[in-house]
Structures are given as C-alpha cells and as structure tokens.
Chain A
Amino acid sequence: QVQLVQSGAEVKKTGSSVKVSCKASGDTFTNHAFSWVRQAPGQGLEWMGGIIPIFDTTDYAQNFQDRVSITTDESTNTIYMELSSLTSEDTAVYYCARARGDLAGEIGFWGQGTLVTVSS
C-alpha cells in the first residue's frame, strides 16, 4: 500500500531554513504528483506547492513562491521541501501528500506530518 513517511520534528531559528523529507513507497514513484501542505496551530490547510516527477515540473503557491523549493530524489523515492527565511509564522505541521490517481488530481495519500517550530 502507498506510504509516505516524513522526517522528524525540527526546531529552527528565525531567518534560517528547514528541509523536510518524505519517502514514498508502495507504487511507481514518478507517475504521481506530490504536494506539500502546511497547517499552523489551530488554523486550516494551506497548499505550498507540488511536483510531478515524470514531467520534472514544479508549481508553487504565490504566498511561498520566493521561499520554497520542492525537489525529488528518484533513486530513493524521496521528496524534499525546503523553506527559507523562516519566521515564527512558519511554525506549523508540514504534510507531504500524493495524488490519488496517476499524474495529478485530488490528494489521496498523506504523510504523518512534520512539526516545524521557529523561534528566536
């Protein structure tokens, strides 16, 4: 079955960067779109961006365009999300997610979430 296993919790200083990983298993890696979605404490879900490995294309939400980078390592079926210039407002749970079907579309699979805490 499809599994997305994310890296562990991070504590970062204001102004630094964080890189979260997500290892996918259970299906052909390149045929599916992956996304990163975050959720600040007590808040809703916010899509940050995504990647489709087979097309090597990335899309980013306008709110994160200048600060986020999503990459993959096909040799290890791992997706990465790096967020720079961190502020306290970036404290959130970050979820890796995958499309339900082939290529893109609705999200059918989620990682367990990674808590990133940013403090001064």
Chain B
Amino acid sequence: DIQMTQSPSTLSASVGDRVTIPCRASQSIGPWLAWYQQKPGKAPKLLIYKASNLESGVPSRFSGSGYGTEFTLTISSLQPDDFATYYCQHYNSNLFTFGPGTKVDIK
C-alpha cells in the first residue's frame, strides 16, 4: 500500500510569509496528488489537483508542484484566512490515501 507522509505536523508562520508544505509518497504516484485545506468544524476544501492544477475559485497565492514521490504546496503570501490544516491525498481512480496533515498556525 502507498503511504503518504507530511512533516512537520505543525508549521508556525506570520501573515505575509511564503509557506511551503511538503508531502512524500512511499512510492511513485506520478502526478496523482491533491491538496485540501480544512478549518475546524468544516469539511475539507480542494485547493490543488493533479499535483499542480489550481481548483476554480482558489486564490492564486496557492500553488502545487512535484511528481513521483515529492510534492509541495506553496502559499506565496500567507493571509489570515489561510491558518488551517492542509492535507495531501493520493488518488487512483476511486481509491484514496490521505497524509496526516500539516497545521499552519500563527507564529
């Protein structure tokens, strides 16, 4: 089975910072990776699909990159609304594996 890892589990940053959130797959998954943002008490929200494609309506300060086993979510200038937990997810047809998440909190 493919395992997804995210480290660190918590990342402290300030408004305006450039933030990079890594995600690693235990074996090559090609471009089949999505990123989600989740705030407390809310359902996750899709940000990025197929590693680097920005979901409609998502601010352009979010971007994704990577292929194979190493992926990154980048927030170019952190905004107050961006403090949340971010999950990477591998998908293969209708099979999914989530990473454990990285919480971005206020420094």
| Co-complex (A, B) | yes
Q: Which of B36, B43, B50, B98 contacts A113, CB < 8 Å?
A: B43
Tell me whether B101 and A107 are in contact (CB under 8 A): no
Judge if B60 is at the interface, Cβ distance under 8 Å. no
A95 to chain B: closest residue by CB:
B43
A51 to B96, CA, bound (A): 12
Chain B residue at minimal CB-CB distance from A99 = B94
Rounded to whole Å, the gap between the CB of A5 and the closest CB of chain B is 12
Given contacts A62-B1, A107-B34, contact A45 B94 (CB under 8 A): no
Residues of chain B contacted by A99 (CB below 8 angstroms): 94
**Is A33 located at the chain interface by the 8 A CB criterion?**
yes
A59 x B95 contact (CB < 8 A): yes
A107 & B98 in contact (Cβ 8 Å cutoff): no
By the criterion of a CB under 8 Å from any partner CB, how many residues of chain B are at the interface?
23
Chain A interface size, under 10 / 10 to 19 / 20 to 34 / 35 or more: 20 to 34
Do A105 and B49 touch across chains, with their CB atoms under 8 A apart?
A: yes
Q: Is the CB of A104 within 8 A of B98?
A: no
Q: Is the interface of B mostly helix, strand, loop or mixed?
A: strand
**B50, A106: Cβ atoms under 8 Å?**
yes
Pick the contact of B46: A47, A57, A95, A106 (CB < 8 A): A106
Q: Judge whether A110 is part of the interface by a CB distance below 8 angstroms.
A: yes
B87 within 8 Å of A (CB atoms): yes
Given known pairs A44-B101, A100-B55, A106-B34, the reply for A112 and B43 (CB within 8 Å) is yes
State whether A45 and B55 are in contact (beta carbons under 8 Å apart), knowing that A59-B95, A99-B94, A110-B44 are contacts in the complex. Answer: no
Q: Chain B's nearest CB lies how many Å from the CB of A63? A: 10
Hey, which chain B residues are within 8 Å of A106, CB to CB? 34, 46, 49-50, 89, 91
Q: Please give the residue numbers on chain B whose beta carbons come within 8 Å of chain A beta carbons, in ascending order.
A: 1, 34, 36, 38, 43-46, 49-50, 55, 87, 89, 91, 93-101
Which residues on A are within 8 Å of B, measured CB to CB? Answer: 33, 35, 37, 44-47, 50-52, 57, 59, 62, 95, 99-100, 104-108, 110-113
Q: List 25 A-B contacts (CB under 8 A).
A: A33-B94, A44-B99, A44-B100, A45-B44, A45-B89, A45-B98, A45-B101, A47-B97, A47-B98, A50-B95, A51-B94, A59-B94, A59-B95, A95-B44, A100-B46, A104-B91, A105-B49, A106-B46, A106-B89, A107-B44, A107-B46, A107-B96, A108-B49, A110-B44, A112-B43
